[in-house]
A and B are shown apart, each in its own frame.
Chain A
């Protein structure tokens, strides 16, 4: 893998910062790694990555940790703010400056507040990888999701993708929509009105000339879809509890819900799931979410190797 100036030393704050050809190069590198799984082992020996998770995380934290360790990096930081200086009230700014002082070469940051990643990037010259900032973006998850869809179908162009669930507060949903806008894809946003895509996402897609549509009920579109990306409807986000009771059934994906689906439909989910995705689907051809999850590790390895320029 050579040095790639599109990634070298750059922050990964939003998937909007990456165009199709750059994403495709990333995906080719991930495919190369999947063919030769040990090819990047130890590549970044001597580098230090700080994983600063101001919001608890299990899988994203673990996959970055394993990816960094496999690349030979030293890993520091915290998986949740409890027990760190953050719980004593230390600011994001000071936390970054402190870890910078320890010689950190790259930061991976998750933070509950929207905009934290961009702010972090202004605080240090070291590359920042956004591992989720509040309800806004989760660019590496979107890269994983695009790669998983591409892997399942051999392409992204021409597909009809439904994104279902909490699209207003779900950062994976908005990042996926941004990422898909690089491709010739028809997007349908399936959610109750109160949880539809935020105005800035809709505005971005419109500016790019992307036609998307909104639907309240999955059954109206399920038969057309090639991909169904499921996210959890978060009860706590819906102002009226009776509204939640009315809508929750529409957003539970199971064999009954998918009765009219194409046999080739692939169901994805960023995981963890609660009850929006029935386990009865796990053994079916619809289920692609565990393949999708497994992509997290190689993709994050490749990404860190590109950002830190460990080209051989």
Chain B
């Protein structure tokens, strides 16, 4: 780690418990917050703080963003969804100051976390007890609704996260 990187890292203190999402493309941290619904998390869970570092030095990316979530472990499934949009991200789980790395992987099937782009899809029907489900077509970087077959790009996932 260079001196500059060390200085930037010091912009935000280390956390004892929580999650650090690293290698986010620069200026995309807010999209990460949106996909992870961090605003809702902060409203429903007490004691959670979020720090966003933007445009910091990165050996691999040139510039990058970092999101630190104090006292919250992001679900691996949510991290996997994030990797649809940002394949470069790494997730560091911090437990009692110890860090373990998680490399998110694009899942074959995504259930529940995203809504279908097709507004008329049965999964968007009010009161039907149906959970949205998508198949990932990795080579084409698209999701396909299991029910209505509608396809949309991985990149548009942040616009379809269920709130």
Closest to A89 in B: B127
Contact B122 A119 (CB under 8 A): yes
For chain B, residues 24 to 62, give those with C-beta under 8 angstroms from any C-beta of chain A. none
With beta carbons under 8 angstroms apart, the residue of B123, B128, B142, B146 that contacts A91 is B128
Q: Which residue of A lies closest to B125 (CB)?
A: A113
Residues in B whose Cβ lies below 8 Å from that of A111: 122
B120 touches A119 (CB 8 A): no
With both beta carbons as reference points, the residue of chain B lying nearest to A134 in the complex is identified as B120
Mark out the residues of chain B between 57 and 113 whose CB falls within 8 Å of any chain A CB in the assembled complex.
Answer: none
Complex CA gap A93/B122 in Å reads 11
Contact of B149 among A89, A112, A122, A136 (CB under 8 A): A136
Partner of B151, one of A113, A114, A135, A203: A203
Give residues 105-163 of B contacting A (CB, 8 Å): 116, 118, 120-123, 125, 127-130, 137, 140, 142, 144-151
- CB of B127 within 8 A of CB of A114, answer no
Q: Size of chain B's interface in residues, with CB distance under 8 A?
A: 22
Which of A91, A114, A122, A199 lies in contact with B121, CB distance below 8 A?
A114
Query: Could you tell me if A118 and B127 are in contact, using CB atoms closer than 8 angstroms?
Result: no
Q: Which of A93, A135, A199, A203 contacts B128 (CB 8 A)?
A: A93
User: Would you call A114 and B140 a contact (CB within 8 A)?
Assistant: no
Residue from B137, B142, B147 within 8 A of A119 (CB atoms): B147
How many inter-chain contacts with C-beta < 8 Å in the A-B complex?
Answer: 65
How many angstroms from the CA of A200 to the CA of B127 in the assembled complex?
A: 27
Q: Which residue of B lies closest to A121 (CB)?
A: B147
How distant is A94 from chain B, measured CB to nearest CB, in Å? 9
Q: Smallest Cβ distance from A175 to chain B, in angstroms?
A: 12
C-beta contact mask, A219-257 vs B, less than 8 Å → 1, else 0? 000000000000000000000000000000000000000
Q: Which residues of A sit under 8 angstroms from B116, Cβ to Cβ?
A: 115
A116 within 8 A of B: yes
A113-B120, A114-B120 known; A134+B148 contact, CB < 8 A: yes
Which A residues, 76 to 121, have Cβ-Cβ distances below 8 Å to chain B?
Answer: 89, 91-93, 111-116, 118-119
A115 and B145 CA atoms in complex are apart in Å by: 9
Q: Smallest CB-CB separation from B140: which chain A residue? A: A203
A115 touches B140 (CB 8 A): no
- Least CB distance, B148 to chain A, in whole angstroms: 3
Are A119 and B118 within 8 A (Cβ)?
no
Residues 288-300 of A, flagged 1 when their CB comes within 8 A of B and 0 if not, give 0000000000000
CA distance A277 to B38 in the complex (A): 56
Query: B128 near A115 (CB under 8 angstroms)?
Result: no
- Residues from chain A with a CB closer than 8 A to the CB of B137 are 203
Q: Are B129 and A114 in contact (CB under 8 A)?
A: no
Q: Are A119 and B150 in contact (CB under 8 A)?
A: no
Q: Given contacts A92-B122, A134-B120, A203-B140, are A115 and B127 in contact (CB under 8 A)?
A: no
Supplied contacts A91-B129, A203-B137, 20 more A-B pairs, CB within 8 Å: A89-B127, A92-B125, A111-B122, A114-B121, A114-B122, A114-B147, A114-B148, A114-B150, A115-B116, A115-B121, A115-B148, A118-B122, A118-B146, A119-B123, A134-B120, A198-B150, A199-B151, A200-B144, A200-B150, A200-B151
A/B interface sample: 20 pairs, CB < 8 A: A91-B127, A91-B129, A92-B122, A92-B128, A93-B128, A93-B129, A112-B120, A113-B125, A114-B118, A114-B120, A115-B121, A115-B146, A116-B122, A118-B146, A119-B122, A134-B148, A136-B148, A136-B149, A200-B151, A203-B140
Q: Give A residues with C-beta under 8 Å from B.
A: 89, 91-93, 111-116, 118-119, 122, 133-136, 198-200, 203
